[in-house]
Structure 1
């Protein structure tokens, strides 16, 4: 590999002067060899700078040392800061130069000491660091240190870090709450930032759902506007998508399955005797003729299809427009597909020029892939049908005002009790099999996220269905047909896409990346800004909430090694969940490492792109923030669709889209067009669906480097360093070493390197371990240590290669792991904090706001380790002063604690175990109270039902007694009996009526109907009583069941002709706003239909002469006089008799106004309209426990007989306040609709549906 090295290389030539730095940067070739050469020169140059120009060969040729700061948020950053400060405080005495000679003074009495030999670690161990590799939270501190070195030089930076009273430490300590450093004011800023990001992502999702919703409702919209299919045959499918899904599966899958079975392997045959034995197979050049069984199977399927067609054709059963997709039709399609699929496959095998084996293999592959496509397409159609029907059902429930409170309480109570019963067994199982329980968590999270997204999509589709189909949306859209409403949504979506789809940066600006980057930059990187004064006593002090120029720096200009610091490697994760041609895809990793420096970008283990001026390199703050972007839809190996959906819709998106430095592949023209013109929706869709293509797209999605490898050692292993110090401050309370395990595995796979850990006994044998300083522990002993500062030590064996003598050998290196652990010699305040916080020093990474005690405890713990790591102690380890050569005999296992067999010793400063545990589940008393409450609710419901049945029985008895002696020829019925009878008939079909009472009510209705057929007698007073009975009781008995007609999926309330006329009116109204375009008012297609039935009679137009106006005025006056005498004469039936009007209201607030309308109609002469008692359809539905009616937005006449249209027009003139006031200025104040075909029509019957009124604006409602 290009980074391979066996011994320290001789000093390379000095790097070019600073004036040529830019030219050197952009001249770097795209190879790891060029990168290695550049870094080797930079390491030499930085060592010369630290040595202040003294070219000490021994110091210049010391082994290369790297420091890795792991991820872990602010916890890792604070511990790493303490470790850096401890390393900076090391003051090793300078060694005298043994080669220098002494000289006598002029008196010969005194001798002058030789000058001290400069050393890299003379002013602190930070001078030994050639590389600094950071991930996530380690990047906070690593970037701070790099900026400090770049601004002040390494020597001054070490002094600032080692000084406990320096302003740098005070600044960092003060900003431990880096997300909200200013308290409530910053909390408000964080909240509004989050809300802005959340609103942006959900706005994008709303427009995405708009397009999806328009596709989902397209078949319903087509049926609503054109009504081509017969609802009687289609409504059993609930949604048109479901028969389409079944039809697609029936017409495609049988043929694909039969074709696969027909593509059989060539049969083996006996040898012809010339070669002896059996031949391998039929020669590939021989074509296989279809066998007899194939022909019989194909002919049987075809014959069955023909017979089924002949049987179904006479009855017209195979008629999709009338019957939809029924099972006979589906069977016919399957048989045709079966025969066709086998015939096509056999024909292909017969006529193809390819060898038989190759043709069979390709056919099987193609047929399997095609079957997968058909399956996915069928499932997609079925899913759209489910969304269509579910959103429609929710819309109906919303419009009728159903309350789900009791049902929700009941279901929630049952679930709560079940969870209460299962919580203890589940906790026990989780305690015993914690690993398996943890594996279930992502699955549950994924399922929960998918369910949540489905609910969110359903909610938006419900809004879309409401906007398109609901009769009452906005007052301005009341008369706009559904197809035009859908067109408005499509127009809005197109405008949004044209305005925003090309804004690629919106995917980043709509996330929390900018907020996160800004806070990190000012809290950590700003310490290296010479324009900012971080001293709080400085007169020009700027706090962390103030943006100052120079707080951040461009990545291309960030070179701490130029002033003696280490080469800083910022590690991120390039997400990839789809296979491509790059060779980087791994289905388990779902991403690869991307390391950024000013030299360029390292991608994976073997690729490098040298920096160019055109690269989207950004700033150091961007890369530090991306390296810590843990909450991202793309999370490397942790990526799942459920997690991506959850993070996406919560708006917690910290990942970053970076423009690809260089095109890797040539995309297809459609993909290229989409990424060039509509990158934003593609990026957001990729995030929501966790679909990332790595380097194969023009934009790369980057996230936390810990999503690939969390220690930061990966980039240092690539460079085969001699000595690596790892600050591993990940959250690992049980010391399971998951991050180290991941590192060991990736090191072996990607670099061929083996990492073996020392046991404590092996380390004690080889090295001198002072318990007061540092002790090398075995991995399994780390969790049970509290008597010393414990670290882990490992041998690194790099990839095998030929040596100078030609023999194979493996260079070695050393890995020293500093992992937070507590011991008895720590400071009192730190141990006191640990006593109060049992999870310290492995508190949750989710805690990103450290208070003073928490910050100081982690910082002090890291500083304690850093001060203990002296140059003398490190010198005994291989790889520090000389090339690494380990003598390890038995390596330790990288595992957690020893388990239950070895009891864990509790330190004195740790709290003892409590005698009793505090329960975290629901108590028994609460569960008992809940069960009692549920029982009381159930008992109350049963009592209410019993009371209803008792009241119904009493009402039936009273009505039967009141109507016992009624005579239809001259009825004498009290008014209260009529009212009681009206209430009783509203209960028809209700669960409150027992079967015996229902039968009695039917017999009572039959008896009243017989009385209603009698003729009136001439006795005094009989005529008025007879008319009253006809309009009250008789209309109640003859009333057919009514259903909601304002909103119905398969039976729209308006005909296609009415919708076309409404569209024409809307079109002409819109055209009125554009008088400059006179042709706009003409419809593209003229709809030749009869005048609407709701329109009043049109007066005949005559020529304008002097005499004609007088004649016309006289005719109008006569017509007006006749109208005043008998305004409802249009309601007379052609064969004699009167029309019947049923008044329907939705609330009791409308009853006074409806009663006034009924009385006005009953007072009209001629008795041409029988007005039935007013029915509150909402109350009737509640009594019958049925779905309530969806209100019409306007007074609406529903005609059972098309000949009643003129009667409806005459009746509409009587509709006054409050409905006439509500429709003031409306061009169509009253709607007239025909009865849906699913209902049985009664000639002469008209239904008038009166919408709810506002009692505050109703003067008649108080009557």
Structure 2
């Protein structure tokens, strides 16, 4: 294999380095400018739409409208989007692909359609809150149908009497006897004690070993890492191995209680106590992550105890029907698609119906690779996050995610390489799937759900919006469905890294929520960033994270004056934007216009009045994805007003710079 020119000669649909991607994007932009009648010498302009669900989509609608009215929309070469910003970016691309002009996006039929579908999760003919609830329930039940029999079979196998000498015939405990034939669980307890013993033994051993070492600091870290793993393993083995002990709570209560009814209740306390205690801990600790983690852990332990109860008390495995269901579960895990059996497919259908305007109650979509420069539309960069939970690269592992971009030309990231999108996923990746994946905010195994107990719970109930894709290097290979058994990777947090044959993608905001990161990678001379993230305290946390990662990953220096933006009195900022400068590592210079969804002293009466009606405006939480037309128009108008004010400042600076440049040229000529 030769990759000297960035192309894998064994696979013409795959390239390793970003330079090849950048070159093709440059040619795409040149063709777009020719079709749109844009000056080919004009500096490349990129617009970024942030995440924020329907709140961001409505604000970005106003941004598009303001760009169009100010004569800037036709100049945009890149349209980078994240999550909710992608809803409206996708809507714009959809209309341009259908041959509609920019004015069509702001026509009465399209705006009224968007108003009618502002509560997009439950909008559409025959779609109600019950439909959404039924979809969530169906996903959860399917997951339980596949996973529960397999997990129960695992509990049963662990209890087989493999070696009778490991388990005495009777262990006399208060109130009863541990059931004979649980060598697997006893072995886990013995292994737990052994791990803990090795942990204790490693303390003096490490001290003695360190005494003879000098000059090599590796030995300071490796033993501690080993000790930490030993302790984690000891705790995990003890929790699972103790299930037979916990299961005897019912017999203990039977011996202590005179009441038969109380003893009957005790039959369920072995799993109910940790589950109920965990639920109470979650309720009390919803604002305390440590207490919530403890509660979730107890809940999961209660579920494990319940599974043990089903296997060894109810004896479900003794019924032939169980093994028939088990075989059916294995078949489903191999044949069913992990992407189609989660809420991802429901989310996709609702987004496509709401934002891909057809004027009819039908749902349509299009291949992402079909977006062509001849429409004059900007090149879309749909930002997602590649899960790197198990990456061996330290920084990727600590971040738990990496930027993974989907475009009509290439899909991928530097860590995986890039596949031609026309051949990626056998060419079946659609615009709808791209923006749905970019908006997959609820998903186990991300930095936002790094709580392992929460991730396990979300996986078990199949409450997930993420998307599994083939590795870019496999582009052009026959691509079938992603089997459901991939969900076990999420459950056990294994195989989630950049070199796996199947990759897991989720919300782009899990890595960077403004959509500016990839524009900085491309060293855009002018970037207009629209931030519609909820930020009631004006902390600008998304902007801060972007600046940190841009400097750490690309060496970009961004100087931005946010004083007027942060100067707010009675909830009204002095400015809604900040204008700054970028210094790229190549020596190139750029400009960044940062526009924020804040109320200002110049905001219109319509916007101010709505803020009095809805005090959370313009910072509605992500949980509110059920807007009405007043919400949509308030955010749309705010976006329209803010971008117009920001563009005036940008145009003034550009005019001053052009005038200064002209004077410099004249002076040089005079000399």
Q: State the TM bucket, normalised to the shorter chain.
A: 0.7 to 0.9
Unpaired runs of 5+ in structure 1? 1-24, 53-58, 91-123, 269-279, 282-356, 427-436, 474-484, 535-541, 665-675, 761-776, 802-809, 886-1263
Aligned-partner Cα distance in 1 for 2:556–2:32: 28
* 8 A Cα contact 2:444 2:490, kept in partner: yes
Q: Pick closer, same or farther for the CA change 1:447–1:829 going to 2, 3 Å.
A: same
Aligned-partner Cα distance in 2 for 1:212–1:783: 61
Does 2:375 match 1:558?
A: no
Q: Pick closer, same or farther for the CA change 1:882–1:717 going to 2, 3 Å.
A: farther
Partner residue, 2:350: 519
Partner residue, 1:205: 147
Does 2:381 match 1:569?
A: yes
Partner residue, 2:419: 609
Mapping 1:690-709, distance limit 5 Å: 690-709=493-512
* 8 A Cα contact 2:489 2:496, kept in partner: no
Partner residue, 2:4: none
Q: Pick closer, same or farther for the CA change 1:506–1:39 going to 2, 3 Å.
A: closer
Q: Pick closer, same or farther for the CA change 1:60–1:187 going to 2, 3 Å.
A: same
Aligned-partner Cα distance in 2 for 1:820–1:267: 59
Partner residue, 1:126: 73
Q: Pick closer, same or farther for the CA change 1:247–1:27 going to 2, 3 Å.
A: closer
Does 2:103 match 1:159?
A: yes
* 8 A Cα contact 2:418 2:472, kept in partner: no
| Residue 467 of structure 1, aligned match among 311, 314, 330 | 314
Q: Pick closer, same or farther for the CA change 1:379–1:459 going to 2, 3 Å.
A: same
Partner residue, 1:680: 484
| Residue 186 of structure 1, aligned match among 125, 128, 138 | 128
Aligned-partner Cα distance in 2 for 1:266–1:72: 51
* 8 A Cα contact 1:394 1:462, kept in partner: no
Q: Pick closer, same or farther for the CA change 1:265–1:627 going to 2, 3 Å.
A: closer
* 8 A Cα contact 1:216 1:384, kept in partner: no
Q: How many residues align?
A: 627
Mapping 1:73-92, distance limit 5 Å: 73-90=53-70
* 8 A Cα contact 2:87 2:355, kept in partner: yes
Give secondary structure in 1 for the equivalent of 2:60: helix
Partner residue, 1:780: 566
Partner residue, 2:22: 36
Does 2:49 match 1:69?
A: yes
Give secondary structure in 2 for the equivalent of 1:60: coil
Quote how far apart the aligned CAs of 1:465 are: 2.1
Partner residue, 1:495: 327
Aligned-partner Cα distance in 2 for 1:498–1:647: 21
Mapping 1:530-929, distance limit 5 Å: 532=358, 534=359, 542-543=360-361, 546-547=362-363, 551-559=364-372, 561-580=373-392, 583=393, 585-604=395-414, 607-611=417-421, 613=423, 615-617=425-427, 618-636=429-447, 638-662=449-473, 680-681=484-485, 683-758=486-561, 777=564, 779-782=565-568, 786=572, 789-799=575-585, 801=586, 810-870=587-647, 873-878=649-654
- Per-residue CA deviation, residues 1146-1185 of structure 1 (Å, 9 max, x unaligned), is xxxxxxxxxxxxxxxxxxxxxxxxxxxxxxxxxxxxxxxx
Give secondary structure in 2 for the equivalent of 1:170: helix
- Per-residue CA deviation, residues 973-993 of structure 1 (Å, 9 max, x unaligned), is xxxxxxxxxxxxxxxxxxxxx
Q: Pick closer, same or farther for the CA change 1:564–1:379 going to 2, 3 Å.
A: same
* 8 A Cα contact 1:445 1:642, kept in partner: no
Q: Pick closer, same or farther for the CA change 1:147–1:584 going to 2, 3 Å.
A: farther
Partner residue, 1:672: none
Give secondary structure in 2 for the equivalent of 1:854: helix
Q: Pick closer, same or farther for the CA change 1:384–1:207 going to 2, 3 Å.
A: same
Aligned-partner Cα distance in 2 for 1:628–1:641: 22
| Residue 245 of structure 2, aligned match among 386, 389, 393 | 389
* 8 A Cα contact 1:731 1:843, kept in partner: yes
* 8 A Cα contact 1:789 1:823, kept in partner: yes
Quote how far apart the aligned CAs of 1:616 are: 4.6
Give secondary structure in 2 for the equivalent of 1:553: coil
Does 2:25 match 1:45?
A: no
* 8 A Cα contact 2:186 2:241, kept in partner: no
Aligned-partner Cα distance in 2 for 1:880–1:137: 35
Mapping 1:293-332, distance limit 5 Å: none
Quote how far apart the aligned CAs of 1:130 are: 0.7
Aligned-partner Cα distance in 2 for 1:488–1:368: 49
- Per-residue CA deviation, residues 1216-1241 of structure 1 (Å, 9 max, x unaligned), is xxxxxxxxxxxxxxxxxxxxxxxxxx
Aligned-partner Cα distance in 1 for 2:130–2:194: 59
Q: Pick closer, same or farther for the CA change 1:450–1:576 going to 2, 3 Å.
A: same
Q: Pick closer, same or farther for the CA change 1:169–1:231 going to 2, 3 Å.
A: same
Aligned-partner Cα distance in 2 for 1:83–1:197: 36
Aligned-partner Cα distance in 2 for 1:883–1:452: 67
Give secondary structure in 1 for the equivalent of 2:144: helix
Q: Pick closer, same or farther for the CA change 1:679–1:879 going to 2, 3 Å.
A: farther
Aligned-partner Cα distance in 2 for 1:65–1:253: 59
Q: CA RMSD in A?
A: 4.2
Aligned-partner Cα distance in 2 for 1:255–1:708: 39
Give secondary structure in 2 for the equivalent of 1:587: helix
* 8 A Cα contact 2:25 2:409, kept in partner: no
Aligned-partner Cα distance in 1 for 2:127–2:481: 40
Quote how far apart the aligned CAs of 1:785 are: 6.0
Aligned-partner Cα distance in 2 for 1:556–1:753: 30
Quote how far apart the aligned CAs of 1:824 are: 4.5
Give secondary structure in 1 for the equivalent of 2:419: strand
Aligned-partner Cα distance in 1 for 2:229–2:81: 45
Unpaired runs of 5+ in structure 2? 1-10, 662-671
Aligned-partner Cα distance in 1 for 2:194–2:40: 77
Q: Pick closer, same or farther for the CA change 1:857–1:691 going to 2, 3 Å.
A: farther
Q: Pick closer, same or farther for the CA change 1:758–1:585 going to 2, 3 Å.
A: closer
Higher relative contact order (CA 8 A, sep 6+): 2
Q: Pick closer, same or farther for the CA change 1:884–1:47 going to 2, 3 Å.
A: farther
Q: Pick closer, same or farther for the CA change 1:393–1:712 going to 2, 3 Å.
A: same
Q: Pick closer, same or farther for the CA change 1:679–1:237 going to 2, 3 Å.
A: farther
- Name the structure with the higher helix share: 2
* 8 A Cα contact 1:395 1:465, kept in partner: no
* 8 A Cα contact 2:83 2:435, kept in partner: yes
Aligned-partner Cα distance in 1 for 2:80–2:12: 23
Mapping 1:180-329, distance limit 5 Å: 180-182=122-124, 185-219=127-161, 229-231=168-170, 238=178, 244=187, 247-248=190-191, 264=208
Quote how far apart the aligned CAs of 1:489 are: 7.6
Partner residue, 1:936: none
Quote how far apart the aligned CAs of 1:612 are: 5.7
Partner residue, 1:960: none
Partner residue, 1:172: 114
Partner residue, 1:506: 337
Quote how far apart the aligned CAs of 1:635 are: 2.3
Quote how far apart the aligned CAs of 1:849 are: 0.9
| Residue 142 of structure 1, aligned match among 89, 94, 101 | 89
Q: What TM-score comes out, normalization by structure 2 length? A: 0.82
Quote how far apart the aligned CAs of 1:661 are: 2.5
* 8 A Cα contact 2:192 2:237, kept in partner: no
Give secondary structure in 2 for the equivalent of 1:517: helix
